[in-house]
Homo-oligomer: A and B are copies of this chain.
Amino acid sequence: MDYQPRPEDQRFILDAVLGASCRLNGLAPFGEFDAPLQSQLLEEAGRFIGEVIAPLNRVGDEAGCRFDQGSVTTPPGFREAYRAFWQAGWPALSAAPEDGGQGLPALLSAIVSEWLSAANQGFNMAPGLLHGAYECLKHHGNDELKQHYLPKLASGEWLATMCLTEAHAGSDLGQVRTRATPQADGSHRVSGSKIFISGGEHDLSDNIVHLVLCRLPDAPAGPKGLSLVLAPKLLPDGTRNAIHCERIEEKMGLHGSPTCQMRLDEATCWLIGEPSRGLQAMFVMMNSARLLVALQGIGLLDAAWQKADAYARERRQMRAPQVPASRGPNDAADLIVEHPAMRRILDTQRAWIDGARVLTYRTALLLDVAKHDADKGVRERAQRWCALITPVLKAACTQQGFQGASECLQVFGGHGYVRESGVEQIVRDARVSMIYEGTNEIQAIDLLVRKVLPDGGTGMGKLLVELRDELEASRDTDADAQRRLAQLRYLTTTVAMASHADPALPYEVADDYLRVVMLTLMAWAWARIDVAASDEADLARWSVPAAAFRRHVLPEFDMRLGMVKRACEAVSLQPAA
């Protein structure tokens, strides 16, 4: 059973919960965008992904990528599927019209990307970095580079990589040693070795555009001495550049995506942006890339859920504790879905997917707002949300993607552990998203240490007040969600005060604080869904995961809140230094 997008779920969240098309319609570039267009695009994307991309998921895992003397062959069917994908215009969805793009909201790209992850994450790794590379080049490249590379990246005809990590420097980019030497013609010769480069070499596109983090002569040590250069696989004159794949990794999963070790031997490169301002150029793409990783977690969890749900409604195992309506007179056993422990797994994972979709789609929408709204104050508020909430979603959604997929595996019993069910592949594929684009522990530090605490929690406080006001405006009566928003505000102040006394404290509680934020946001999201679910059909779809959320997910809120509080209290009990 291949993954099948169900656009009706997205439609409800976008229209009834978030009022997305109205909001987008008010932004200058999307004046002609409306709900019917949105609906049509999602239907088409869903059909394409279900018919063309999803059926290649299994072969991607089993055949995997093959490395031979510097070349990488992707799994059978991937090359043709990728050609069909970019020629149908899917990578260009939210690229600017002047670059050949369709100029549609980033929100739509985000949903398409979630579905691609669900259908075939090994495949989706290839175009996964396209939009980030496009944005980076668009904002920081010079005209010549833009003219040559921007349209190809916008369309997806050429694929892109991010060459950051080196063997001695994993998460620690300040340690990067790759060297760039300026040339008389304005280009640079770059030498060094990079590891963990997704799509560093492959046969999907004719050219590959590498964005490489390196260091110019006399650049300061550490992250402030990093420059970003563009290194094409094929130079503009058609010759091969000196950037080569030396091997590909054997991985736990994502076998459809080659993870390459790359060597640059005096490769010809061009600076993107100012010298030693490479990290700034990259940060443009950081929030949107992290959001896409959060959507991977949701997508893979939905893929596992679809499989488990179908299996549980078809396979019979043992007697349920109460006679279910589905038991026929000749059935010696009941459907798996009738067993409370299995029901709980399915409903709980559904609650995670649905609630997290509200939050990630809202974030994608606010990326559009932050870019295009006429009002500076509105743009800044949207930007604040994206900055604060993106690391929360990246960490929480990828953790749930892995753990929740493993829960779904459990529904299959022993069959889940063998390849045929397809669900163990999802668990393996999902694991890496907790690591890349900044490990989940780094997301927690980014949230608390770099974003919440520097202004003493003021920004987070304002965001929470906005959420409170939105709930009140929607005439929501969920006092519970309101109470949690208030508790998180108070907790934020508590942590800020205790961190003055003990600067190590935020590093100790960052992971728990992030969980409190996520659970607060989820409570808010489910309060919004409750208000939006107006008729019986809506209630039939949304009330079961709503109940599962409150019963099985939300209790973690008090636990984490208590853990952070006790750590703060321990600080205030210490004698002054």
Contacts and interface: CB of A to CB of B under 8 A. Distances in A.
Interface of A: 165, 169-172, 174-175, 195-196, 221, 249-253, 259, 317-318, 321-322, 332-333, 339-342, 344, 402-403, 406, 409-410, 413-420, 424, 427-428, 431-432, 434-436, 439-441, 444-445, 503-504, 507-508, 510-511, 551-552, 555-556, 558-559, 562-563, 566-567
Given A318-B171, A322-B504, A340-B508, A406 B417 contact: no
Contacts of A556: 559
B165 A341 contact: no
A170 B413 contact: yes
A137 to B, nearest CB: 25
A410 B558 contact: no
A517 to B, nearest CB: 16
A263 B322 CA distance: 35
Given A428-B428, A435-B410, A341 B417 contact: no
A441 B332 contact: no
A444 B414 contact: no
Given A165-B414, A410-B441, A417-B432, 13 more contacts: A170-B413, A171-B318, A174-B332, A251-B417, A252-B427, A340-B507, A340-B508, A341-B510, A341-B511, A416-B435, A551-B567, A555-B562, A559-B559
A569 B198 CA distance: 52
Contacts of A409: 431
Contacts of A195: 414
Contacts of A551: 563, 566-567
Contacts of A424: 251-252, 431
A417 B403 contact: no
A414 to B, nearest CB: 5
B172 A318 contact: yes
A418 B251 contact: yes
Given A172-B333, A403-B403, A410-B435, A259 B427 contact: no
A300 to B, nearest CB: 15
Chain B CB within 10 Å — which of A195, A251, A322, A417 has the most?
A: A417
Q: How many copies of this kind of chain does the complex include?
A: 2
* List of 3 A-B pairs having minimum Cβ-Cβ separation, nearest first: A341-B441, A252-B424, A250-B419
Contact of A344 (B174, B196, B333, B511): B511
A441 B171 contact: no
A274 to B, nearest CB: 24
- Which of A410, A503, A504: most chain B Cβ within 10 A? A410
Select the residue from A317, A413, A415, A444 with max chain B CB neighbours within 10 A. A413
Contacts of A436: 414
A511 B341 CA distance: 8
A323 to B, nearest CB: 11
A417 B435 contact: yes
Nearest to A317: B172
A448 B427 CA distance: 30
B414 A196 contact: yes
A259 B165 CA distance: 39
A272 B425 CA distance: 40
Contacts of A259: 418
A221 B333 CA distance: 13
A422 to B, nearest CB: 11
Given A172-B333, A341-B511, A413-B435, A563 B559 contact: no
6 contacts: A250-B420, A344-B508, A344-B511, A417-B432, A551-B566, A558-B558
B406 A402 contact: yes
Contacts of A172: 317-318, 333
A165 B221 CA distance: 62
A333 B173 CA distance: 11
A176 to B, nearest CB: 11
Nearest to A558: B559
A441 B342 contact: yes
A114 to B, nearest CB: 21
Q: Identify the interface centre among A172, A252, A318, A432: most chain B CB within 10 Å of its CB.
A: A252
Given A418-B259, A510-B341, A252 B434 contact: no
Contacts of A507: 321, 339-341
A317 B417 CA distance: 35
Contact of A427 (B250, B431, B508, B511): B431
A558 B503 CA distance: 29
A42 to B, nearest CB: 32
Max chain B C-beta neighbours (<10 A), residue from A221, A409, A420: A409
Given A317-B170, A427-B252, A556-B559, A341 B444 contact: yes
